[in-house]
A and B are shown apart, each in its own frame.
Chain A
């Protein structure tokens, strides 16, 4: 088998810091909640001219509510099932909760 060049410097190779990566659900949730609130408020003050433009659908209101809902669902998912990175075996055993995948 051809050897993998990444293993050449095994002695003082730095450890991967991938476990430090934040959870994207937090940012998606936050952005959609913020946009949702902004659009919902805009939905209440959208002018008649803009409503006619959108073939009489108050799209700012509806999109705002939908985005608010999606954002809250992401935050809920994050809260119910937070990110757990693969830990070293000894750490994993001392973990409080059973690991899920």
Chain B
């Protein structure tokens, strides 16, 4: 069993960090007088803060450990989850979609659906998002407990209660500002913890070329090798699944409609800052594979029997390297970063759950027209309830061994169809109220059925050899194709239902659909233009450009 050699110096570093986490919550409390202050940071934050929080909300420890595991298992192909599988969607959100979200002053992603479609569409999305958010929060909590147990020996239940307690303290006190400020701080600490690991590891194996020599599998270092249609050998399947399933459907569904992400952009101080939020976040995203995939590769090069039945599991790549390389002190920083990342993953989910539940479910359907003070209290109570449910969910998650696949499964059911509905909603004013909920239902059903029947399709097995036990199936590839099915099912049903039902009067779509401007919107000439270097189009173009160059280098 892996056990870190933590001493008093590391514990001091951890104690300082956790004291600061609580201090942020206490200090942010002063800035909360309304429910919007609590749930949306009063829409007051600068773009660099929301941009780093945008990426940090996704940079939970499951993501970090999971991507290092993927790096060890699949090699450089894992970059598809970062480059084609994230950057284009983030740029699209910033340039194309934020004007609709921020400009229409909606307070959440489900609220956009309520105004664009109808109550059933809204309820479908609000409830499924709320459920997914608390579930993911629980998964994060469970993963955190496993790591604390393994690394410093605390019993699982104690880790769950203590870490849930920290998250509870800083987000019931500081609200979304508490969560976002902690995410920004965590971003820098996790980088400070991972960089030494990569520097020492690469030095130990003799640099990048030494790493390639030691692993001695050239195809491991090419991201697109073996992605031919019909006879794939790449661990992520063929190019069509990667480009359309991961790069288009899953990625756009997650980054542009997941409220835990979009909420960070909605809390920015103006539309320009809101647009720049995902664009600023895309730059760290481009380079994070260097801090997650590379440790995974180093782990298979230097750890004996790594990933086999006799050695450590792939998910242990980063903790195992911390144990092997980091001296006390730096070890404390890395551990603080890792624990902070787990808490951030949970806090992002709880802080988006409380907003959707308070505004979209409670205020819209249960108790309307109360003074704002009432909803501020509801927001705080819901935060506590969300965390308690998260603790319960932590135990459900323990039934699944591969946490990453478990989360991906959730994405493919709920998120895959979402992007189809949103893109049609924003660009086709004919899309009718009932088309919304029908399309979402069809898409979710499509994803679910594909997940069940996909196991019988021989093409998803290596070499096309069907395995009756289903053990050798390419799970990632099945997810990508499941997402494509969900997207197509949603789009077809949305269009078909729109054609036979009554559309919404155009006046009700102001600001929500392309080509229907909001008459109440401020005159564009009165809004201060950002400096040229802060223009969303230029930032987006630079981000896509860097990604393209890197993709060619690691082809």
Binding site for B on A (CB under 8 A): 1-2, 4-6, 8-9, 12-22, 24, 27-28, 31-32, 34-35, 38-39, 42-43, 46, 50-51, 53-55, 57, 59-60, 62-64, 66-67, 70, 83, 85-86, 101
Contacts and interface: CB of A to CB of B under 8 A. Distances in A.
Contacts of B537: none
29 contacts: A1-B518, A2-B508, A5-B363, A5-B364, A5-B369, A6-B36, A6-B107, A13-B372, A14-B34, A15-B34, A17-B31, A17-B37, A18-B37, A18-B42, A19-B42, A21-B44, A22-B28, A22-B31, A27-B185, A35-B16, A35-B333, A42-B329, A50-B327, A54-B327, A57-B203, A59-B196, A59-B200, A63-B333, A86-B269
Given A17-B31, A27-B23, A63-B196, 15 more contacts: A5-B363, A14-B33, A14-B372, A17-B33, A19-B42, A21-B41, A22-B27, A22-B28, A24-B49, A31-B17, A32-B192, A39-B330, A57-B199, A59-B326, A63-B330
A39 B45 CA distance: 32
Contacts of B32: 17
Contact of A46 (B114, B195, B327): B327
Contacts of A101: 528, 530
Given A13-B371, A50-B328, A57-B203, A1 B44 contact: no
Nearest to A50: B327
Contact of B13 (A8, A15, A38): A38
Contact of A57 (B28, B107, B200, B520): B200
Contacts of A53: 324-327
B368 interface: yes
A16 B36 contact: yes
Nearest to B35: A6
Contact of B188 (A1, A18, A32, A85): A32
A97 B196 CA distance: 42
Given A14-B34, A17-B37, A18-B43, A55 B115 contact: no
B30 A20 contact: yes
A17 B16 contact: no
Give the most central of A14, A43, A51: most B CB within 10 Å: A14
A4 to B, nearest CB: 6
B192 A63 contact: yes
A32 B30 CA distance: 24
Nearest to B193: A63
A11 B27 CA distance: 29
Given A34-B16, A60-B330, A70-B188, A17 B114 contact: no
A51 B327 CA distance: 7
Nearest to B114: A2
Nearest to B530: A101
Nearest 10 Cβ contacts at the A-B interface: A18-B42, A17-B33, A50-B327, A18-B44, A21-B31, A55-B204, A20-B31, A42-B329, A60-B329, A16-B42
A21 B192 CA distance: 26
A1 to B, nearest CB: 5
B interface, how many residues as a size bin?
Answer: 35 or more
A53 B484 CA distance: 47
B118 to A, nearest CB: 11
B9 A17 contact: no
Given A54-B200, A54-B327, A59-B327, A5 B368 contact: yes
A1 B511 contact: yes
A70 B191 CA distance: 12
A83 B372 CA distance: 28
Nearest to B534: A101
A60 B200 CA distance: 12
B181 interface: yes
Contacts of A86: 44, 269
A48 B315 CA distance: 30
Contacts of B229: none
A101 to B, nearest CB: 6
B139 interface: no
B190 interface: no
Interface string B489-512: 000000000000000000110110
B30 to A, nearest CB: 5
Contact of B325 (A8, A15, A55, A66): A55
B24 interface: yes
B41 A39 contact: no
B177 interface: yes
Contacts of B192: 32, 35, 63, 66-67, 70
B228 interface: no
B373 interface: yes
B184 A24 contact: yes
Contacts of A21: 28, 30-31, 41-42, 44-45, 177
B24 A27 contact: yes
Contact of B510 (A1, A28, A51, A63): A1
Given A54-B326, A60-B329, A1 B203 contact: no
Nearest to A4: B105
Contacts of B105: 4
Interface string B203-240: 11000000000000000000000000000000000000
Given A5-B363, A15-B34, A21-B177, A28 B326 contact: no
Given A1-B507, A42-B9, A17 B188 contact: no
Interface string B520-539: 10000000101000000000
Contacts of A9: 369-372
Contacts of A85: 44
Contact of B508 (A1, A17, A60): A1
